[in-house]
Structure 1
Amino acid sequence: MTNIVKLVYVHPSVEVAGLSSWSLGDVPDQRGRSVIITGGSTGLGFQAASMFADKGADVLIACRDATKAAAAVDQIRARRPAGTVRAGSLDLADLNSVQDFAREVLAGQERLDVLVNNAGVMWTPLARTKQDFELQFGTNHLGHFALTGLLLPLLLRTSNARVATVTSLAQTQGRIDFDDLNWHTRPYSTGAAYGQSKLANMMFVLELDRRLRTATLALTATASHPGWASTELTRHSPALLQRVSPWLGMRPDKGALTTMRAATDADASSGSYWGPRHFFETKGHPGPARIIRRARDTAVAARLWDESTRLTGVEYHWAATAGQAG
């Protein structure tokens, strides 16, 4: 019960101290730090990449569309940021691409301070990944599960490293169906499939935190959701929602602040969850968010971890290697 309370009510003193207006100015200096952001060419990922670069980080945008990635890099460089930005090829819907990307990172980088698992697809028609997973579950959860596991040795070699995963309020509608995780037999529902993938994201973070604690490792695992942010992610949503989203949703730069808090704030302890503070967590400055009961089911989370390991073939190795980066 103690752990549950700690996870749900993160740092109540922060709220009392009046820091609910946390903003870009609260992001610490990122000079000398290395950051990877999946899906960093558009939307929330692009905004987070821009913010990290402005704060001095070396940012690697990882996405599948080389043209969009190049345009994003040029746009960020035009801001004359204090840090650097570059692009890498990563298709989370293809585990071979995930393997290739991780291999290049491990061979070319000495440290990885922050991995932001941001990329995702939402409400897509039924489609399959390269390995025949349902597209939303395969991209949003399995691709990031594999990527994090493959980059774990580098993360563990870097002091105070962090994995920040972006989930969604849609997790409240999610159910983990172990009988048919990839929608081969049950009637397909775009919303239910998205909710399952986002609940899986949340359970992944909490289970990763538990396993890191068991292994007494200092890597921090956090989660965030952007509330209602108006981005191109809604392109498969109903027409009415697409029309009202620019008026009712937050701008992408505001929505990305929850990602930045989860990824950089010293008060964002491992296992914490961050989202907008107002209007049922849909808008406002980032603060502690409510973790739903289903996400805290440790038995389901452990089984999901085992299934994810089986489906991706990626084993997590919990021993930190020598030569930890400072």
Structure 2
Amino acid sequence: MTGRTVVITGGNSGIGRAAAAVLADRGARVVLAVRDLAKGNAAAAAMAGDVVARRLDLADLASVREFAAGSDAPIDVLINNAGLMIPPLGRTADGFELQFGTNHLGHFALTNLLLPRINRRIVTVSSNGHRAGAIDFGDLNWERRPYRAFPAYAQSKLANLLFTAELQRRLAEAGSPVLATAAHPGMAATGLLDHLERDRSVLYRLRDSVTSRFAQSAEDGALPTLYAAVVDVPGGSYVGPGGFLQGRGAPKLVGRAKSAEDAAVARRLWTVSEELTGVTFPLSAAPSKP
């Protein structure tokens, strides 16, 4: 990775931090795009190599635009890693449901704003939870239904895969060499569910016992992300652990739910995402060959 630049969202903790540390150790210049700059600077200082932190709040489109405007150097790989999992109902600065707004819309806007400077690959981290997801175009932001945290999370993770599929289609149509891929970490021991300590929920009571018995480390959970970022795979690929139920194990190309392969839904989601964020795909279609 010597001489290459990688931007990774949420790179100060969990699988993002583990992936960033490996990439930096292999010679990449790594930019940690983080909401808490103090934590980002501390993470960068703890890593060997050329690592810097810059502030990015995916739950605030103004912050996304500011980050993109300050990124004028070429980017080899963008890793859309940051995410929220089953928090209480919340809203982004722009009024979107917090998980959909952060996990999908924030990364959608960031990717399209940075795309003219990206020259190799875009990796978006999804989850096996996408299999339980459905895109409810009538209520994407949970304004009409009683809020349910896990279905909202599953919708956002399904959106990640639909976004990857439509992004790859558009990149190919534009004749771009950039590839869009996706990954999921399986079951990894990270701080993604630490907020459950505050409400003492059933998931909180189960978390430690399940994690200790079945989860792999954050370092192992980062392997699918790294695989999707650097291995020679086709555009649109999805990488996950190769073990039982894709929960752990060495990374490999894996399947996805049929709902994540629906091209019509992917195109509609893209159009709606453009309307919600005010950000559009910046590349033109390649001219047809004579």
TM class by shorter chain equals: over 0.9
Contact 1:235 1:242 in 2 (8 A): no
1:248 and 2:207 aligned: no
Q: Is 1:180 paired with 2:139? A: yes
Unaligned runs of 5+ in 1: 1-29, 321-326
Secondary structure at 2:45's aligned position in 1?
helix
Query: Equivalent of 1:102, from 52, 62, 68?
Result: 68
Structure 2: runs of 5 or more not aligned: 197-202, 286-290
Matches within 5 A, 1:20-169: 30-76=1-47, 81=48, 83-106=49-72, 109=73, 111-155=74-118, 158=119, 161-169=120-128
Which residue does the alignment assign to 1:170? Answer: 129
Superposed counterparts of 1:210-249, under 5 Å:
210-237=169-196, 238-244=203-209, 245-249=211-215
- Give the Cα separation in 1 of the matches to 2:194 and 2:127: 16
How much has 1:247 moved relative to structure 2? 3.3
Q: Which amino acid aligns with 1:37?
A: I
Runs of 4+ in structure 1 displaced over 3 angstroms?
A: none
- Residue 272 of structure 1: aligned partner: 237
Tell me by how many angstroms 1:71 deviates: 1.1
Counterpart secondary structure, 1:280 = helix
Tell me, in whole angstroms, the C-alpha distance in 2 between the residues paired with 1:273 and 1:222. Answer: 6
Q: Partner amino acid for 1:89? A: R
Per the alignment, residue 13 of structure 1 pairs with: none
- What is the TM-score normalised by the length of structure 2? 0.94
Equivalent AA in structure 2 for residue 184 of structure 1? E
Percent of aligned positions that are identical: 49
State the aligned residue count. Answer: 278
User: TM-score under structure 1 normalisation?
Assistant: 0.84
- Mapped to 1, the partners of 2:241 and 2:40 lie a distance apart of 28
TM-superposition CA deviations, 1:242-300 (whole Å, max 9, x none): 2121332000000000000000112x221100000011100100001112100011111
Shift of the 75–247 alpha-carbon distance from structure 1 to 2, 3 Å rule, reads: farther
Q: Which residue of 2 aligns with 1:11?
A: none
Amino acid at match of 1:94: D
Report the counterpart of residue 317 of structure 1 in structure 2: 282
Q: What's the Cα RMSD here?
A: 1.1
For residues 230 and 188 of structure 1, the distance between their equivalents in structure 2, rounded to whole angstroms, comes to 26
Change (3 A) 1:236 1:191: farther
Q: Secondary structure at the match of 2:65?
A: helix
Aligned residues of 1:31 and 1:55 also touching (Cα < 8 A): yes
SS for the counterpart of 1:175 is coil
Distance 1:121 1:96 in 2: 19
Q: Which has the higher contact order (CA 8 A, sep 6+)?
A: 1
Q: 1:74 offset after TM fit, Å?
A: 1.3
Answer whether contact 1:94 1:130 (CA < 8 A) is retained. yes
Corresponding residue number in structure 2 for 1:308 = 273
